[in-house]
Structure formats: structure tokens, C-alpha cells
């Protein structure tokens, strides 16, 4: 499965002396752009994929190997094909170099897909898809944003790169994370956060009140250069001015980071080195946070195959370079390169400090020491990802703006072109000084939509009267908080494929993209096995507790203190959903499951939960039985071994009558605690 040159060879266009003419021009080689280009070719249209960098896949091949997906049942079409092909790759014995397939928890031979993967394997699969569809790909070509978009009225005629290469087409698709083609074509867009009042939302805008998550300062940390002295100024990264009121609009962006692919396999490990421009002042908050008693490991290394990771931000001070990306969306290329370089320098310095700096507690340094970058990943960029995680940049403003109300199904979203289901997830946007004179993070919001929701076709095309031959599947029309759920790579692939389908219909019917006949679009999307609606109450992954063997107590019947948030975003589950602790109020939330056992005897006790990367790895449970109390901690990031839903705690003796099992969030500091159901099965 190593990347052979012949396998990776793509059709590359030469330097045309006149405009190269295509039916469809896709700008941006993200996974969404790949899906668009492949679909256009499959439907018989000429297409070119233009990528400003040297790699295709964007974040999918750029380190985000742990798929944030929500309900995987709504991932269809090209996106599903991609994850299925990854599974086929990992079904080859030669794919497993640094561990065996049987030892990797998220690979199951009988599954149809795998949702965690190495970056280079993702790029191999995506390139193979392009080869198969005979899509010509142009690398290292950036749009001339100042004068490179030629318009006939509002219609794009051609786009010209900085090199002078020109590409003409009938329909254009902007699949970049930045929305550069969209902006250069004069399409309306916004950046930052809308006020809640603008669209009748709850979780948008300034978000101090939602600061009850793990990604905040839990210890008392002084924000001033000279502790206690406001006149000395604030530390690097802290805003001196007071934050506006909750729910108000601003232009701040959720933070960016690099999703590092790390490993603790010595033979494949590249050590973290101290960067030449290491600036101690940038990490003063990190050091003070440790000294204030917060000894959490400030990152989240989720395992992907071959003992590698997709490493994400975690806790108060981590890989997110908070507050340093506000100018990025509209910045020039040179300014963006400076911003990206600053992020890289910051993250390099962070990793070196966590392993070596004397102000980092020895316990933390010891836990960090085994890690390094994977030697066989990102070999042309010194093993750092080739793609900065642009979580959010420009967002189009169309006639239909997707909002929190669409995500939570409080609106009847029209003309579905795909579904999302992940949490409305915004990372922190700022650091500020609280009224108590302490530093705090602001902007992290994590709210479940409660299940899959539809995404409207009109949210991926410009408003009527604007560009009639442009479709925007990535920087689509959405509010900040709704985009926090939509901005998942599987969703981008879904929207990218369906954008190309709409483009083909627009060309065939000779209509503007805003006037594509939805019935035709829907017919083709269904033929492509896209999921456009999802009937939550009737779905098969909601398991009726009354139909299960033994005695089952659902979360709805547990004796609870807290665990008030109900969700169905991840599946399967028992009953109508499950509950979680909101990632807050540590040690204050508990759920007691009490079973009325019909007779004395030996019973196997099982717990049901849905795994996810945002779960805790150390959920405490306690079973009270005849001989005493059995305690254990559960890793809820790991898939349960029994039917993908249940984990056995063991077999115990119980008297007839009341038996109990308790779950709490005591001592949990690394994610959500989920409660679903507990089952007592008579032992055979």
C-alpha cells in the first residue's frame, strides 16, 4: 500500500496558450473538490480539477484521519465509496506495518467501511478515484484573485491563475476552504459570528455563557505580564478589551491548528525539535496553567492505523492558536503564508515545550516524551501536515442561509442535497480577562442537533441575481454555529458530488444553477445512493429495550443527577436516544440504573453506549452485587465489542429484587460521559 509512482501518476494539463475549455471547472482539490470532479466525469462532462497546492484531499489527506461524522447512516454516494475503499485497503495484510489489524480497535473485517485512517492512504484512494474517472488535475496553480475572474455580466466566463494559465467553463465549482473564487466573482459572503437575534438562534455570537466544556481554564491563571498588575499589560494571546455581551456578533473566527499525525513507534518517529524562533512568551499561559494545578495533557491523540494518531486540540492551552487567524479569510496569499507559518512555528514550539521545558511538570513531560511525528507521513513537508485546519473562513450569503434552526429541525429545510448530523461544534475564538481578573477562553460551543438534518440546495448556490454559473459546496451559505456542524469532511464530499450533479443538469437544461429542476437533481442523487432524508423515529438503529433479553433499564428510567442532555447524533442506541453530561460539572452528575430482578442467581451485566472521539476514556462505573461492589473505568471512545453497542462488566451474583449499577463523571477530564442502557442477562 506504499505510494508507487505509477499509481499516483495523474493526468496533468500543460500550459495552454489560450483558455482551456471545459464543461465544468472545479477550483480546490479538497475532498469535496475531488468528489465534484469525479462526479462530473462520471456523468459524461469534461472537467478539470485545479489545486493551488501540491496535494489533493485537503484535510482528509492532511491529518484529519479520525472522521467526525455523527450518524454514519446518512453518509452516502462518493463519500461512502471513499470510506469503503479505505476499508478495502486496510483489508490487505501489507497495509499493517506497525501493528496487526486485529489489534486496531476501529478495524472490523466484516464492516463495509472504516472511519479512521492514515493521511497518505487517504490521498492514495482519492488519487485513484481521479485516475479511474480520467480527471485531469492541475497542481500548484493559484487563482489571480485581483483580476483573474472574467465575467460576462454576473456569469463567469473563465478564470486565470497567477501563472497566466486560463480555464474556461460553463459551470464553476468553488471547493476551497477559503471561498476565493466565490469572493472574486462578486458573490455575497460573510465572516465571523452572527448575532443570535439575526436568525433567531441560541448558540451563535459571543459565547461566554456556554463556557462549560473541557477546553477552558479550570485553574486560576493570571493574564497579566506582571501577575496582579493590569498596568503591565496582558500576556500574548489575551485580549485586553472587555468581551461584548453574549450572543452579539463579531468578526472573530474559531481557531485553526495542524492535525498532527504522531506515533510512539520509535522506528517510525521523528522527534520534536526546538524551533529556531522559539518565543517563551507565547507559552507563558501554558506554564502558568500547569503551575496553577491543571495537569491535564493538553492534546487529544486519537489512534489511527499503524499506531499513528490524528492529534486534535484539547483542554485550556493546546494546539489551537487562538485569536491568530482573524485576518486569514480575506488576507492576500503572502499574508496567509505568514499566518500559516506563525501557526506552524507556534505548534512546533508547543510540542517541544511539552516534552522539554522545565516549567512543564515532569509527569506531563514523561507522558509526552514517547511521541513524535510519523516518519512515513507528509514526507515532502518535514512530516508536518501540508494543510492547516481552516475550520471556517468565508461563508456565502445566499437566498437560503442554513441556521441552527435547520440543524435542530425546527425548520422544514427544503430541497435536500445531503444531510449532516455532527454536533454544532465551534472551537474557541478568543482569550479574555474575566471580571475576576483571570484569563479565560471564549467561543467553544458543542451542542448536539439531536439527529440528522437536511441541507438545502439553495444554500450551495448564490442568491438570485448573483453569479448564475457558480456552485459553492464548502463555503456554503450558513451561519457560524450551523457551519460548526456542517463543516465535516464527509458532508463536504456529499455536497461536492451533488454540486457537480446540479452543474451537469444546469448545462444540459441550459439554465442558471439557481433554477435547476430539483426533481431531476433528486432523482440522480438517489441513483447515486445519497441519503436525503432520515426518519429518526422509525430508524432501525433505535433499539426497543422491551425487545431485548434479560432485564434492561434505559437511560430515561435511570435515577439521575444531571445527565440532562438528550441526543441521538451517534448510533446505535437503546430507546429514543441517549444522554450525556454536557462535558461539564465534573463529579456532580450521576445515573443509577435500578433493575427489578425476577429471581436470585448469576447475571452478566452489560452497559450500552455509542462511541465517539469526543467521549471520555475513563468513565467510572460501579456494580453493586451480593458480594460487594465492582468498579471499573470504561473507554467510551472505543467501540463496544458486543454488537457495536454493549460492553460486559462481568458476571455477578444478585439476590432477587433490586439490583443497581451507577455511572458518574467523577474524575473525568477528557470528554463527554454518555449513559444509554444497562442490561442484566441471566448467566447460562
Q: What is the mean pLDDT of the chain?
A: 93
Does residue 22 surpass a pLDDT of 80? Answer: yes
Q: How far apart are the first and last CA of the chain?
A: 45
- pLDDT at site 18: 57
Average pLDDT over residues 355-369: 97
Strand partners, 629: 624
- Specify whether the CB–CB gap between 486 and 29 falls below 8 A: no
Q: Which residue has the cell 439557481?
A: 514
Average pLDDT over residues 286-301: 96
Q: How confident is the model at residue 541 (pLDDT cuts 50, 70, 90)?
A: low
Average pLDDT over residues 603-613: 90
- pLDDT at site 451: 87
DSSP 3-state of 140: coil
Bigger pLDDT: 213 vs 192 = 192
**Residue 353 CB coordination number (10 Å):** 22
Does residue 214 surpass a pLDDT of 90? Answer: no
> pLDDT tens, 544-595?
888 899 999 999 889 999 898 888 777 789 988 899 998 888 889 999 999 9
Average pLDDT over residues 11-39: 82
- Specify whether the CB–CB gap between 425 and 468 falls below 8 A: no
Domains detected in the chain? 11-192+392-426+446-527 (3.50.50.60), 542-682 (2.60.120.260)
Cα(552)–Cα(165) distance, integer angstroms: 66
CA-based R_g, the chain, Å: 25
- pLDDT at site 7: 34
Q: Write the CB contacts of 237 (distance below 8 Å, at least 6 apart in sequence).
A: 282, 285, 322, 323, 324, 431
- Asked if the peptide bond before residue 572 counts as cis, ω within 30 degrees of 0, the response is yes
DSSP 3-state of 127: helix
Burial of 546 (0-12, 13-18, 19+ CB in 10 A): exposed
- pLDDT at site 17: 43
Does residue 270 surpass a pLDDT of 60? Answer: yes
> pLDDT tens, 389-432?
999 999 999 999 999 999 999 999 999 999 999 999 999 999 99
Cα(45)–Cα(49) distance, integer angstroms: 13
Does residue 15 surpass a pLDDT of 70? Answer: no
- pLDDT at site 537: 43
Prediction pTM value: 0.81
Average pLDDT over residues 353-359: 98
Amino acid at each position: 500500500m506504499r505510494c508507487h509512482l505509477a499509481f499516483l501518476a495523474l493526468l496533468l494539463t500543460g500550459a495552454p496558450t489560450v483558455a482551456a475549455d471545459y464543461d465544468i471547472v472545479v477550483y480546490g482539490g479538497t475532498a469535496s473538490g475531488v468528489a465534484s470532479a469525479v462526479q462530473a466525469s462520471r456523468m459524461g462532462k469534461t472537467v478539470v480539477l485545479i489545486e493551488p497546492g501540491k496535494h489533493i484531499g485537503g484535510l482528509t489527506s492532511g491529518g484529519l484521519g479520525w472522521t467526525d461524522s455523527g450518524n454514519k447512516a446518512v453518509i452516502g454516494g462518493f463519500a461512502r465509496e471513499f470510506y469503503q475503499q479505505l476499508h478495502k485497503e486496510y483489508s490487505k495484510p501489507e497495509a499493517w506495518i506497525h501493528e496487526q489489524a486485529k489489534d486496531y480497535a476501529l478495524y472490523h473485517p466484516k464492516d463495509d467501511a472504516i472511519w479512521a485512517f492514515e493521511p497518505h492512504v487517504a490521498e492514495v484512494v482519492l488519487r485513484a478515484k481521479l485516475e479511474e474517472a480520467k480527471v485531469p488535475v492541475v497542481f500548484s496553480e493559484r487563482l489571480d484573485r485581483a483580476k483573474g475572474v472574467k465575467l460576462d455580466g454576473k456569469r463567469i466566463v473563465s478564470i486565470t491563475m497567477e501563472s497566466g494559465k486560463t480555464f474556461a467553463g460553463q459551470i464553476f465549482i468553488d471547493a476551497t476552504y477559503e471561498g476565493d473564487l466565490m469572493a472574486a466573482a462578486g458573490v455575497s459572503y460573510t465572516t465571523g459570528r452572527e448575532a443570535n437575534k439575526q436568525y433567531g438562534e441560541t448558540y451563535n455570537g459571543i459565547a461566554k455563557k456556554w463556557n462549560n466544556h473541557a477546553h477552558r481554564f479550570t485553574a486560576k491563571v493570571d493574564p497579566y505580564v506582571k501577575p496582579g498588575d493590569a498596568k503591565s499589560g496582558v500576556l500574548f494571546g489575551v485580549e485586553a478589551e472587555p468581551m461584548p455581551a453574549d450572543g452579539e456578533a463579531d468578526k472573530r473566527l474559531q481557531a485553526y491548528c495542524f492535525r498532527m499525525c504522531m506515533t510512539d513507534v520509535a522506528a517510525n518517529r521523528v522527534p520534536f525539535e526546538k524551533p529556531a524562533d522559539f518565543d517563551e512568551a507565547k507559552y507563558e499561559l501554558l506554564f502558568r496553567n500547569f503551575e496553577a494545578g491543571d495537569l491535564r495533557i493538553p492534546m487529544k491523540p486519537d489512534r489511527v492505523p499503524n499506531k499513528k494518531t490524528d492529534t486534535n486540540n484539547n483542554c485550556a492551552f493546546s494546539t489551537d492558536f487562538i485569536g491568530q487567524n482573524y485576518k486569514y479569510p480575506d488576507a492576500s496569499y503572502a499574508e496567509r503564508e505568514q499566518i500559516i507559518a506563525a501557526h506552524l512555528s507556534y505548534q512546533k514550539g508547543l510540542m517541544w515545550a511539552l516534552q522539554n521545558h522545565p516549567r512543564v511538570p515532569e509527569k506531563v513531560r514523561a507522558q509526552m516524551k514517547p511521541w513524535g511525528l510519523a516518519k512515513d507521513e507528509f514526507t515532502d513537508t518535514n512530516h508536518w501536515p501540508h494543510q492547516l485546519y481552516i475550520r471556517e473562513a468565508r461563508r456565502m450569503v445566499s437566498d437560503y442561509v442554513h441556521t441552527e434552526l435547520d440543524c435542530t429541525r425546527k425548520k422544514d429545510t427544503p430541497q435536500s442535497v445531503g444531510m449532516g448530523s455532527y454536533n454544532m461544534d465551534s472551537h474557541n475564538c478568543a482569550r479574555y480577562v474575566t471580571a475576576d481578573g483571570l484569563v479565560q477562553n471564549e467561543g467553544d460551543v458543542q451542542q448536539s442537533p439531536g439527529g440528522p438534518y437536511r441541507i438545502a440546495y439553495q444554500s450551495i448556490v448564490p442568491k438570485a441575481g448573483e453569479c448564475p454559473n457558480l456552485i459553492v459546496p464548502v463555503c456554503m451559505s450558513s451561519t457560524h454555529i450551523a457551519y460548526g456542524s456542517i463543516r465535516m469532511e464527509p458532508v463536504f464530499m456529499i455536497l461536492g458530488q451533488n454540486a457537480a450533479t446540479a452543474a451537469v443538469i444546469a448545462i444540459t437544461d441550459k439554465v442558471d444553477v439557481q433554477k435547476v429542476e430539483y426533481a431531476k437533481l433528486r432523482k440522480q442523487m438517489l441513483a447515486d445512493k445519497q441519503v436525503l432524508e432520515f426518519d429518526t423515529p422509525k430508524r432501525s438503529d433505535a433499539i426497543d429495550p422491551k425487545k431485548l433479553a434479560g432485564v434492561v433499564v434505559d437511560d430515561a428510567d435511570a435515577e439521575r443527577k444531571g445527565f440532562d442532555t438528550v441526543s441521538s447524533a451517534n448510533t446505535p442506541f437503546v430507546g429514543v436516544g441517549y444522554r450525556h453530561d454536557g462535558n461539564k460539572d465534573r463529579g456532580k452528575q450521576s445515573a443509577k440504573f435500578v433493575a427489578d430482578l425476577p429471581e436470585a442467581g448469576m447475571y452478566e451485566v452489560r452497559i450500552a453506549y455509542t462511541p465517539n472521539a469526543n467521549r471520555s476514556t475513563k468513565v467510572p462505573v460501579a456494580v453493586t452485587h451480593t458480594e460487594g461492589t465492582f468498579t471499573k473505568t470504561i473507554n467510551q471512545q472505543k467501540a463496544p465489542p458486543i454488537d457495536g453497542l454493549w460492553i460486559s462488566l462481568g458476571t455477578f451474583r444478585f439476590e432477587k429484587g433490586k439490583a443497581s449499577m451507577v455511572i458518574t463523571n467523577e474524575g473525568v477530564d477528557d470528554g463527554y460521559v454518555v449513559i444509554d442502557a444497562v442490561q442484566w442477562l441471566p448467566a447460562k
